Structure 1
C-alpha cells in the first residue's frame, strides 16, 4: 500500500454550459478550490476508469484526450457525426459510435490512442444504454468482448486485428456484463420469450471453458435486469425488474434481487425481510459484503455477506440510495430523487451511525477515492434550478458548498483506494486541518468588535398589518399604532370634552362684553 505522503491529490471534474474544468480537491486552501485545468469548451467530458486519461468532446466532432498527470492534450480525433465516445478502463483505447445510414458504413470504431490508428471497425445499427459501450473490456484490459445476435464475441485486447477469436452461443441474449476485477466471467441476460422464463447465465471467459454456463437463474415477470459484479468476480447481483406489478402494490412495477456465485454455491433470491421494490444495491470495495435498500417506504437497509447472511440492519427511513466508502469503513444511506434528501452516515466497522444531514434535490452522489469526503450535486437537465455542489465530511458535516446558474456534470477523478493511506490516519489528518481552520477563524473573529445584536421585532400577521394601515387612514396617525376599542372610545370622549370646554369658554367671553 502506498504511503500517505505519496498519495495522489484529489481532483474534481466540473462541467457547465461553457465547458469543463478541473478543480484541485479538498482540503481547499482558504476555503475555495483552485483550478487544475482551465475551462475547455465542450459538450461532454469523462475520465477513464483508472483516472489516467480524460476524454473531452468539443465542437465540430473533435474528441480530445488529455493526460491526467499533466492535463495536457496528447491526442485529438476528428470523428464526423459522432454520437457517443468512451475510453477503455486503462485509457488505451477510444471507442466511438457514429450516425450511419447504410450497413456498409462501419460506424463502431476502436482507436488506439497512442498511435491514433483505428484497430477495429464494425457496423452497429443502434446504440442504447444497455448495449453501450459495445466492446467491453475488463479493468485490467486483459479481456474484451462484444454482444452480438445470439452470441457473445471475444477479442484479443492486445491485437484487435485478429478479429473475433472465439464465441459463446447464447440464443436470445439481450444484455451482457463482463466482470471487471478480474475479467474471468461474463453474465448474460436472456428475456422471457414464448412461455420460456427469463434467465441470467454466467459463463467463464476462458476459451476451453465456455460450452456451458457455470451458474444460471431463471425467473418469470422480468423485462430488464441490472447486473452487478463484485470485486474478485466471485458473485453477481441481478436485480430483475418488470414494468407491471401484477399484485397492484406498486405503480413502478416489481423488482426482485437475485444472487449467483461462480462456484455454484448460491443461486436464488436474497432473503429480504420486507416486501417492496429494490431501490439500490452496492458491493463493498472488498467484494465480501453488499448493502441493499429495499421495501415500501419507509425503506429498509441491510448488509449481507457473500453467503447472503445478514450482517447488520441499518434501520428504516426515507432512503433509496446507498453508497459504500471506497475504504470499506463507512457507508451513506440517502433519499434522493423524489425524496427529501435525508442522509445517514454509518461506520460499518464499529456498527454505529455517526451522523445525519440533508442534501435536498441531489441528482448525483459519490465518495471521494480516499474515502474521507462525500460529494452530492444538483445538475441539469434533471433539475434546472438550484444547481450546485456540496461536499461533506465522512460523518455528514458540511465542508463545502457552491452554487451554479447551470451545472451539467460533477465527478471525482478516479484513483485506486490502495494508493491512499489507512482511512483512520486520513481522518485524523483531516480532523487536524479542521481544528487549525477553526482556530484561525476564532482568532480573526476575536480581533473584530462585534456589533450588538438587534432584538428581533415581534411577529405581526399580515391581517394585523392591514388593519393597522386602514386604522391609520381613517383616524390619522401612524399605522404602527394599534388601539383597542376602549382606547378609541376614551379618545373620542376626551375630544368631546375638549370641544365642550372650548364652547363654554366662548360663551363666557361673549357674556363679558
Structure 2
C-alpha cells in the first residue's frame, strides 16, 4: 500500500482537504465550510483532521472526508491530538464562570465517543496541551515545581506519579518506546541552569544531567528513537551586545548518562536552526553570522559533513532521511537548496519561494510544500508545491491564508540505507495545470546588505555582519548603494569636475559651512525605518505562534503600512 499525499489549508472563512496524489481533488465526502475557523490540525498518525469553529469542534476522517464527530466546544483557540489520535485537547481563553470561579478552559475529549473526560484550569497558552508517551499510556502536565503523570485510561482521576523539581519551568517527554522525561531548571540566585532526564516512574536519581550558565529558556529536541536529546539554550539578552536576539548554545545528552557534551561551533554568531535526521543517527545545525554555516554531526557531536556558506536559517531532513533542505526564510529571500545525502551531499536544485513562512516535506519525501501565510504577511498569500527535483507541481492564491500543512504519514516511512549506492532521483509526475502560473513567476534577486557610506568598498567588519542577515533579504537601500546620486537644479549650469587652484582658493574662503548631503540623511532614515520593519516582523512571528502582545506592541504591528509608505517616499523599493 503506497502513501497518498494529502494537505490541508485554513483561510479566512474556509478550510480544505486536498488529495495531491489524486490530481489535487478533495475527498469525496468532504463538505465545504463557510464560517470562521480559528485553528485546525491533523492527528500525528494522519487518521483524523479537526477544526474549531466559533461554536463547536469538528472531527473528520481524512480518507473519506466524512464528518465523524461534532464536539460542543465553543470559542476554542488551540487544538491538539494524542499520538494515536484517541484523545483531543482543546484550549479556550481563561475567564470566570457565572459564580466567579475560574473557568476550566482546558478540556480533554475522547475522539471515539465525543465524551468530555477531563477538564482543568490552564491559564498559559504556551505549552497548553498535555504531553503523551508514544503508546498513549501516560499523559503529563506541568504544575508549580511538579509534573503530574496520569493514566490515560483514567484521566479524570488523580495522577499516578508525580515528579517534583524545585524551580522547574519546562519539560518534554521522549518520543521513544522507553518512558523518559527531560526537565529544565533555569538559573536562580547564582546557581547554574540544569537539564535532567528521568526514567518514569524512577525519580530517585536522574539518568543524565547537564549544568550550564547563560540559559533563560530552552528547546528540547529528541531524536526519533528517544535515545539522545539536543538542548538549545537561549538568553533573553546578550550581555556582549553582539546579538540582538540573545546568546544561544547547544548541548547533547544521551539518556544512558554515558555521554553529554556541549556542541562546539567554529563560527561566531547565533544558532539559527537545529534538526535531527529521521534516522536518529545524525543532526544538523545552521549557525553563525550571515552567510551562515551548516554542519552535519554524528550522534557523538563529531562533524561529518559541511555545506557551503550561504544566507540560510532553516534546516529540514526528509522523512526517508535521504534529502536535506536548507532555506533562508523570514528576513531572507526564500531560496531553498535541496541536497542528496546518498550522492555525497550533491545539491539537487535550488527553488525560489520568496516570502515563505512555512515549508515541509511530504511524508513520502517526494515533494515540498511552501506557503505564505497571514498574519506574518498579508499579501501574496499562497500554497506552492514543488517536486524534489525543483519542478513546480501546484499553485493556489488566497486573499488570506492562515495554515497549510501535509497530512502526517499513515504508514511507517521507510528509511534509506546509507550503505547503498546513490540511486537515480525519482522523476516528477504530471503537474497540475496551476503549476504553469508558478513557473512563470520571476525569481527575486538579492541586492546585498546595507552599509553606511564610510564602510562601503571594504570587507565586512564584525559589527556589520548581523546587518547582512537582516538587509540582504529585504533589499533595503539597494539603489542607494549604487553610484552616488548627483543633485541637479533645473536651469543651472553644470558643475565642472575640476577647478583651478585659484578657484579652489577663492571657494574655500567664500564657501559656507557644508551641510551633510540629503542622500546621507535619507540613508539614515531608511536604515531606521528598516530596523522598525524588522522589529514588526519579530512581533508578527510571535503572533503566528499565538502569543499575546501588549497594546503598544499591537500598535507597532499596525503601523507597518505607515512605515512602508515612508520608505517608498524615500525611494526604497523592496523588489528592486
Q: Which residue of 1 aligns with 2:7?
A: 12
Structure 2 CA distance, aligned partners of 1:149 and 1:55?
Answer: 31
Q: 1:231 aligned to 2:224?
A: yes
CA contact (8 A) 1:279 1:293 kept: yes
CA contact (8 A) 2:320 2:414 kept: no
Structure 1 CA distance, aligned partners of 2:9 and 2:414?
Answer: 23
Structure 2 CA distance, aligned partners of 1:38 and 1:315?
Answer: 47
Deviation track 1:293-342 (CA, whole Å, cap 9, x = no partner) reads 11111100011111111111112100000011000000110000000112
Q: Which residue of 2 aligns with 1:245?
A: 238
The equivalences for 1:452-467 within 5 A come to none
CA contact (8 A) 1:13 1:21 kept: yes
Q: How many residues align?
A: 422
Q: Which residue of 2 aligns with 1:35?
A: 26
SS of the residue 2:427 aligns to: helix
SS of the residue 1:377 aligns to: strand
Q: Kindly state the Cα deviation for residue 48 of structure 1 after the two structures are TM-superposed.
A: 1.0
Note the residue ranges of structure 1 that are not aligned, 5 or more in a row: 1-5, 442-513
CA contact (8 A) 1:8 1:420 kept: no
What is the TM-score normalised by the length of structure 1?
0.77
Q: Which residue of 2 aligns with 1:334?
A: 327
SS of the residue 2:412 aligns to: helix
In 2 relative to 1, CA 231–218 (structure 1 residues): closer, same or farther, beyond 3 Å? same
In 2 relative to 1, CA 279–417 (structure 1 residues): closer, same or farther, beyond 3 Å? farther
In 2 relative to 1, CA 183–159 (structure 1 residues): closer, same or farther, beyond 3 Å? farther
Q: Kindly state the Cα deviation for residue 286 of structure 1 after the two structures are TM-superposed.
A: 1.3
Structure 1 CA distance, aligned partners of 2:305 and 2:235?
Answer: 29
Q: Which residue of 1 aligns with 2:167?
A: 172
Match 2:282 to one of 263, 280, 289 = 289
Structure 2 CA distance, aligned partners of 1:47 and 1:258?
Answer: 31
Q: Kindly state the Cα deviation for residue 265 of structure 1 after the two structures are TM-superposed.
A: 2.5
The equivalences for 1:215-230 within 5 A come to 215-230=208-223
Deviation track 1:361-391 (CA, whole Å, cap 9, x = no partner) reads 0000000000000111101110000111121
Q: Which residue of 2 aligns with 1:87?
A: 81
The structure whose residues are more often strand, as a share, is 1
Q: Kindly state the Cα deviation for residue 103 of structure 1 after the two structures are TM-superposed.
A: 5.0
Q: Which residue of 1 aligns with 2:199?
A: 204
Match 1:150 to one of 145, 166, 172 = 145
Q: 1:300 aligned to 2:297?
A: no
Q: Which residue of 1 aligns with 2:386?
A: 392
Deviation track 1:422-473 (CA, whole Å, cap 9, x = no partner) reads 799xx97951735x999xx9xxxxxxxxxxxxxxxxxxxxxxxxxxxxxxxx
CA contact (8 A) 1:204 1:214 kept: yes
Q: Which residue of 2 aligns with 1:273?
A: 266
In 2 relative to 1, CA 394–210 (structure 1 residues): closer, same or farther, beyond 3 Å? same
The equivalences for 1:91-490 within 5 A come to 91-98=85-92, 99-101=94-96, 105-124=103-122, 126-129=123-126, 131-133=127-129, 135-182=130-177, 184-205=179-200, 207=201, 209-351=202-344, 352-416=346-410, 418=412, 431=427, 433=429
Q: Kindly state the Cα deviation for residue 420 of structure 1 after the two structures are TM-superposed.
A: 6.4
In 2 relative to 1, CA 323–367 (structure 1 residues): closer, same or farther, beyond 3 Å? same
CA contact (8 A) 1:143 1:183 kept: no
Q: Which residue of 2 aligns with 1:492?
A: none
RMSD: 2.5
SS of the residue 1:343 aligns to: strand
CA contact (8 A) 1:191 1:199 kept: yes
CA contact (8 A) 2:296 2:306 kept: yes
Deviation track 1:241-292 (CA, whole Å, cap 9, x = no partner) reads 0121122211221101111110113222112221211100111111111111
CA contact (8 A) 2:3 2:411 kept: no
In 2 relative to 1, CA 132–105 (structure 1 residues): closer, same or farther, beyond 3 Å? closer
Note the residue ranges of structure 2 that are not aligned, 5 or more in a row: 437-576
Instruction: Select the structure of larger CA radius of gyration.
Output: 1
In 2 relative to 1, CA 403–420 (structure 1 residues): closer, same or farther, beyond 3 Å? farther
Structure 1 CA distance, aligned partners of 2:75 and 2:10?
Answer: 22
Structure 2 CA distance, aligned partners of 1:82 and 1:396?
Answer: 39
Structure 2 CA distance, aligned partners of 1:149 and 1:297?
Answer: 40
Q: Which residue of 2 aligns with 1:487?
A: none
Q: Kindly state the Cα deviation for residue 350 of structure 1 after the two structures are TM-superposed.
A: 1.7
Q: Kindly state the Cα deviation for residue 229 of structure 1 after the two structures are TM-superposed.
A: 0.5
What is the TM-score normalised by the length of structure 2?
0.69
CA contact (8 A) 2:38 2:77 kept: no
Structure 1 CA distance, aligned partners of 2:411 and 2:290?
Answer: 34
CA contact (8 A) 1:325 1:331 kept: yes
In 2 relative to 1, CA 282–421 (structure 1 residues): closer, same or farther, beyond 3 Å? closer
CA contact (8 A) 1:260 1:266 kept: yes
Deviation track 1:205-258 (CA, whole Å, cap 9, x = no partner) reads 2x2x22121111222221111111001111111110012112221122110111
SS of the residue 2:297 aligns to: strand
In 2 relative to 1, CA 419–357 (structure 1 residues): closer, same or farther, beyond 3 Å? closer
